Amino acid sequence: MNIGSRGWGAKRGKPLVFPIAVCALLGVASPLSAKPPADTIVLKGGTGDTVEISTTGPFADPHATQLAQDIQALDQQIAKMRKQKAERDPAAAEVKAEMLGIAVDARDDALSELDLALAVARKTSAGALDPDAVARADADARAAKTVLSSRAPSSIAVTTSISTSVTDATLHYMSAQKHRQRSTEWSSYSDGERMRIGRYVFRVNPARAGAPGYEEFVLVISDPTRKRLTPMQAPNP
Amino acid sequence: MLRRRCLALLASGGVLPLLSSCTAYYGETTTVGSPIYIRSNVPDCPVKDVALAEPTVGLFIGISNYQPGAGVISTPAHFIGASLFAGIFSRAGELTGPSAYADARLTDIIPTSRLPKTSADPSNVVRVMGYGSGGSDALIRRAAILGALATAIADAEKMRQTQGRVRLVIYVAAHGLLGADGRPSFLPGDASVDAPSTWIAYGDVVDAVKAFLAGNAPGEATHSALLIFDTCQNTRGAAPSAPARFAATPGLVLVQSAAPGQYAWHWTASATADQHVEVVKETRLGLGLPPPEARGDIHRELASTMSVLPLANQCAVAARAKALKAQVGGRQVISVQDWFEATKTMADDYLSQIPEMQRLGRTQQVSMVATDADAARPLFIVGGPGT
């Protein structure tokens, strides 16, 4: 998915309005006609768009560069996994394909969040990456790495034990992708529930009326998957 | 003269506007001492027959280049925005200095021949700061900004003495932060995000302007000011518990493009609506850029962004003036309140079209603080003075 180095540091996808011929006539360097600089990492997103990350110069950010390099490393691992010999056992093959899909989705989400973080740096008067988007990109990239390095469970559904330190709270969950789409369709969770492997967001709802809830990303990949949800700071509103 | 200007621009090897643009864009200017110039007429939002309602001294600051290690990236958007904003207050710049800034003594948007003959000095002073002190230093440093602020205030006081009244207009487009103390600040080119002492707090500029407004005798309003901060107010680290709020001060109109905790978004090529294709084309041409050697780290490529507020301002004034001329005719006034409401409405429309802002679920609140009396004061005259 890493398609090499090119361009000057912005998201592609739409043709530029300004004609190249006019640029050439005026001696202005067109982004399309410019020779790709070697200091730009170009990554392809899940929807076909490309994201360019400057690694040096005035548009460079060390954290963005690190994330881009992490995603490049993921791409190499994913490509390697795709080349591996197919499983003979249909169940094992299904699990492996599912794990690969989870890793690819997490990688794509990481890039999407990095793109969003870069957009804040480039398209606002903040001049720096959006910290929330960076945190999500980090989490997505970590999830992809974890999935790629995890031993495949024997089944696509695994036993889970998700609990919380918040007294008398109830737990709900939804897939990370639905959560990204701002879905409000939470499913209630029961301890010991078998869940399909994947990336989820869990919500802790305190029993006390009016108390704010708390959300946390959970990767369900091992059998069993155990996790205790503990608000580190003030709960999310 | 037009031909000389075009040649001067091309010979400079810096700005490369379309050849055909030279005749179209410099119709009423006289000399040029720098390739920096100001455009007032965005093709699809032309501002015609609109004059400033009061003698005006303007300082428009667009800080685009930041020093290495500043903690923020450089962006052409701020200078382009400042140039465009200044365009409303000036037809074009008569320029001084090789690259520092355009220092224009201008006849506002109305041709000189149409200005009132009774005025002793009909000129307004408009200064645009986009780059540093010339040479290889493309940074606008903190000291230069504070110096320009003092100069603008001094110029305004001189104008008040000759004209009897004056409006001081200050516009700042820059990276901004909300400090741990809750004070919104903007970052000069030599600032560091890790050192709040290198920032300039809104409050420090407000205090300087308040001192200028103290020149008003009791019951008089000979001094007024319009202060516009077009910067982010996001935080690094924990948000302050009590962000600073500005109270209305007689004589002062304070506009902020973002509220505490918010980003100030830029209009970009990727957010182009059909009706603004020309604007984007124009910014791609490198609106108002100095020669390459004075551009610093940015502007080596075509620029394609600007703050939302200047674009909204330009198109809002154009639309309001057009509507007033069509509906009422004759000489009409756009008050500060009318201007702000039209600009805010236009800005909100642009902001709703920025996909990244929607994806992040963020909002941006453009606000104005002013007394009722100041909000009611005329800002622009449509149809021109004396018509």
On the CB side of A220, CA atoms within 13 Å amount to 26
Cβ-based neighbours of A180, under 8 Å, separated by 6 or more: A109
Domain tally, chain B = 1
Q: B226, B168 in Cβ contact below 8 A?
A: yes
- Indicate whether B262 belongs to any domain: yes
Q: Which of B16, B19, B73, B275 to mutate to test the interface with A (most CBs of A within 10 A)?
A: B73
Q: Does residue B329 register a pLDDT over 90? A: no
Q: Is A113 on the interface with B (CB under 8 A)?
A: no
Q: What percent of chain A has pLDDT over 90?
A: 61
Q: Does residue A84 register a pLDDT over 60? A: yes
Q: Is A132 on the interface with B (CB under 8 A)?
A: yes
Question: Higher confidence at residue B379 or residue A35?
Answer: B379
How far from B91 is each of A99, B52, B125, B133, CA to CA, in Å? 63, 11, 12, 24
Q: Does residue B62 register a pLDDT over 50? A: yes
Rounded-to-integer distance, Cα B341 and Cα B328, Å = 19
Q: Is A58 on the interface with B (CB under 8 A)?
A: yes
Cβ contact B66–A58 (<8 Å): yes
How far from B90 is each of A207, B29, B105, B228, B262, CA to CA, in Å? 62, 11, 9, 17, 30
Residues in A touching B236 (Cβ below 8 Å): 128
Closest chain A residue to B354 measured between Cα atoms? A123
**Identity of the residue in A8, A16, A123 whose CB atom sits nearest the CB atom of B356:** A123
Q: Is B323 helix (H, G, I), strand (E, B) or coil?
A: helix
Mean pLDDT of the region A52-57:
84
Which pLDDT does position A233 carry in this prediction?
Answer: 55
Cβ-based neighbours of A174, under 8 Å, separated by 6 or more: A183, A185, A186, A187, A200, A201
Query: What confidence tens digit (pLDDT) does each residue in B171-218 have?
Result: 999 999 999 999 999 999 899 999 999 999 999 999 999 999 999 998
Mean pLDDT of the region B357-369:
94
Cβ contact A18–B361 (<8 Å): no
Topology annotation, domain A157-229: Immunoglobulin-like (2.60.40)
Q: Which of residues 166-195 of A touch B (CB under 8 A)?
A: 182
**Identity of the residue in B193, B264, B284 whose CB atom sits nearest the CB atom of A18:** B284
CA distance B72 to chain A (A): 5
Q: Is A121 on the interface with B (CB under 8 A)?
A: yes
**Identity of the residue in A28, A58, A123 whose CB atom sits nearest the CB atom of B305:** A123
Which pLDDT does position B56 carry in this prediction?
Answer: 82
Mean pLDDT of the region B321-343:
89
How far from B72 is each of A112, A207, B29, B45, CA to CA, in Å? 21, 43, 37, 32
Lowest mean pLDDT segment, chosen from A147-151, B4-8, B81-85, B97-101: B97-101
Cβ contact B272–A59 (<8 Å): no
Q: In angstroms, how far is the first alpha carbon of chain B from the final one? A: 29
Size of interface A-B (CB pairs under 8 A): 111
Question: Higher confidence at residue B174 or residue A14?
Answer: B174
Q: A148, A84 in Cβ contact below 8 A?
A: no
Which pLDDT does position B24 carry in this prediction?
Answer: 21
Give residue B241's domain range.
35-382
Question: Higher confidence at residue A162 or residue B62?
Answer: A162
Closest chain B residue to A13 measured between Cα atoms? B270
Mean pLDDT of the region B49-59:
80
- Indicate whether B20 belongs to any domain: no
Count Cβ neighbours within 10 Å for each residue of A123-136 and write b for 16 or more, e otherwise: bbbbbbbbbebbeb
What is chain B's mean pLDDT, rounded?
71
Confidence band of B44 (pLDDT split at 50, 70, 90): low
- Indicate whether B155 belongs to any domain: yes
Question: Higher confidence at residue B227 or residue B118?
Answer: B227
Which pLDDT does position A55 carry in this prediction?
Answer: 87
Cβ-based neighbours of B161, under 8 Å, separated by 6 or more: none
Rounded-to-integer distance, Cα B80 and Cα B309, Å = 11
Mean pLDDT of the region A136-149:
96
Residues in B touching A128 (Cβ below 8 Å): 71-73, 193, 236
Q: Amino acid identity of A145?
A: K
- Indicate whether B179 belongs to any domain: yes
Q: Does residue B22 register a pLDDT over 90? A: no
Confidence band of B123 (pLDDT split at 50, 70, 90): low
- Indicate whether B22 belongs to any domain: no
Cβ contact A17–B361 (<8 Å): no
Lowest mean pLDDT segment, chosen from B20-29, B351-360, B370-379: B20-29
Rounded-to-integer distance, Cα A2 and Cα A75, Å = 7
- Indicate whether B30 belongs to any domain: no
The interface predicted TM-score (ipTM) is 0.74
Neighbouring CB atoms inside 10 A of A232's CB total: 7
Closest chain B residue to A16 measured between Cα atoms? B269
CA distance A229 to chain B (A): 23
Q: Is A237 on the interface with B (CB under 8 A)?
A: no
Q: Is A135 on the interface with B (CB under 8 A)?
A: no
Cβ contact A128–B268 (<8 Å): no
Q: Is A120 on the interface with B (CB under 8 A)?
A: yes
CA distance A139 to chain B (A): 17
Q: What's the CATH code of the domain at B300?
A: 3.40.50.1460
Q: A217, A144 in Cβ contact below 8 A?
A: no
**Identity of the residue in B231, B270, B302 whose CB atom sits nearest the CB atom of A18:** B302
Instruction: Give domain limits for chain A.
Output: 20-149, 157-229
Q: What percent of chain A has pLDDT over 70?
A: 81
| Residue the block writes with tokens 């003269």 | B1
Q: Which of A18, A49, A113, A124 to mutate to test the interface with B (most CBs of B within 10 A)?
A: A124
Which pLDDT does position B58 carry in this prediction?
Answer: 83
- Indicate whether B19 belongs to any domain: no
Query: What confidence tens digit (pLDDT) does each residue in A200-236 have?
Result: 999 999 988 888 889 999 999 999 999 999 886 544 4
Closest chain B residue to A25 measured between Cα atoms? B18
- Indicate whether B145 belongs to any domain: yes
